[in-house]
Structures are given as structure tokens and as C-alpha cells.
Amino acid sequence: MSLRTALLFAASLLCARAGAGEIPPSERRSGYDLMSRETRAMQDDDATNPGMLWVLDGETLWNRKAGAADRACSDCHGDARESMKAVAARYPAFDAALGRPVNLEQRINMCRSKRQKAPPLAFESRELLALAAYVARQSRGLPINITIDARTRPFLEAGREAFFRRQGQLNLACAQCHDDHWSGKLAGSPITQAHPTGYPLYRLEWQGLGSLERRLRGCLTGVRAESYPYGAPELVNLELYLMWRANGMRMETPAVRP
């Protein structure tokens, strides 16, 4: 380990020690564990899980030809149940051409423009959420598996730095709620440890499916901080850090949350 990474590592430990600290692996909990029995039952049964409507739409879109190339996702990737297995569990992943990590939605859009010669789908559009939910569904039950190497480490560190930074008019860091107070309640809501195990997921409050970035923008707005546009590098860095922090936890897509 170089002196610089050693210092960064020491600094991150100090950061973590300042509050209650980063959550030890044995104490990690999915948001699922903090939900009511009814909401858990809704997630568990495909017949009642509203997210399955998006997954079914996604399957249709997967097989539908699109763009000037007149090709479907399945023309290149075949059966998603085989080819997309465990894929979402390792996103955000490094893209060599861009020289930075991209999230699953961005990867889908890159395939659209490069391989299908179709215009990119808007973030949070029904189609993009459906495709992302269908792909991520193929990781359900599999462990999150982010590997960090020399190329991705700086982005992970940037995400971690953002997680521990106090920000906004309320001057709160993500870690102050999600590491230090996850067992508490903010107004009536259990806070959770912010493990992104189930995205895109159906949120009762949204009455619809939404991406991890939508959730992050919500928390940023909550502390009255300036938000970032969808797809912004800062959001993807945070996603990378959160997924890495949840390494080994099981994917739940499409999850349900209050």
C-alpha cells in the first residue's frame, strides 16, 4: 500500500470512529428487515409485488427490436435469465471508454445508442426502469459483488468522502443517519442502513418504481443540499460506495419499501 492510500485508509478509519462508526458486517441489515410484516409479504410474493409489473414490461422490451439497427437486446445477449445472471450485482462497473464507473441504467443506454442505434431512454422513464428491473431481477438472491481495483479506487474513495461529508442547510452527513442512527426513527420512518439491495424498487410513497439515484436525490433534498442531475458522476460514485459497502448482501430486486 502506498503512503497515499495508507493515509487515505487511516483517514477513513478516523472518520468512521468519529461517530458510532461504519457498521460491522455481522450487524448489516437490509431495509427489508426494518419493514412491517405486511410490506415484507408484499415484496416476497411475486403476485402482490407491484415491481413485477415493471419486470414483465422489461422482458417485453428485452425482446423487442429497436433503433436504426433494428436489433433487440436479446439479439446480442440471448436469454437474459442466463446472460444477465449476477450482472446487476456488480454495478456500477468500470467503463474503459469513459474511464469511469457507469451504473446499470447508463450501461443499458450505452447499448441502446451504440448497438441499437436508438436514442437513449430518459432517466426514470418507464422503459428504462423496466429494463433495469428486468436485468436486476436476474440477480435476485445473489450476493452483491463489487470488486475494486486501481482504476475504480479513486471513485470509491470519492463516494465514501461524500457519504461522510456534512452538507446542506441541515448540515448532516449520510453517515450520521445511516451509520450512527440506523436503529432510530426520523419522524415515523425507520432510517435503515442505506444498503442498495433492491433497486430499482417500488416505493409505496412514490407509488411507483424508482432508481437508487432517485432515492439519493431524495435524501440530499431532505438535508436541503444541492442535488445532482441523474447520471452525474457524483451520484454514481455514491452508488459505487454504497454497493461496495453492501458487498455480500443478497440482491432483492424488485424490492418494496415504504
Partner 1 sequence: MSLLAGNAFAADSIPASLTGAKGDPARGRAIVANRQVGLCLLCHSGPFPEERFQGNLAPDLTSVGARYSEGQIRQRMVDSRKVNPQTIMPAYYESEGFVRVAPAYRGKTILSAEQIEDVVAYLATLR
Question: Do 244 and 138 touch, CB atoms closer than 8 A?
Answer: no
227 binds, among ligand HEC, partner 1, none (CB under 5 to 8 A by kind): partner 1
**Total count of residues recorded for the chain:** 258
21 interacts with, out of partner 1, ligand HEC, none, CB within 5 to 8 A per kind: none
Of the pair 151, 166, the CB lying nearest partner 1 is at 166
The CA-based angle 194-199-200, given to 5 degrees, is 140
Question: How many other β-carbons are positioned within 10 Å of the β-carbon of residue 75?
Answer: 13
219 among known catalytic residues: yes
In angstroms, the CA 45 to CA 52 distance is 10
In terms of CB distance, is 73 or 212 closer to ligand HEC?
212
CB of 79 to ligand HEC, least distance (A): 29
Burial of 104 (0-12, 13-18, 19+ CB in 10 A): buried
- Residue 223 Cβ vs partner 1, minimum distance, rounded to whole Å: 9
- Kindly tell me the sign of the dihedral angle through the C-alpha atoms of 110, 111, 112, 116: positive
Q: Which residue is nearest to ligand HEC (CB)?
A: 31
Q: From the CB of 220, what's the least distance to partner 1, in Å?
A: 8
Residues that are catalytic: 219
Interface ranges with partner 1 (CB under 8 A): 18-19, 165-172, 176, 180-181, 184-189, 221, 224-227
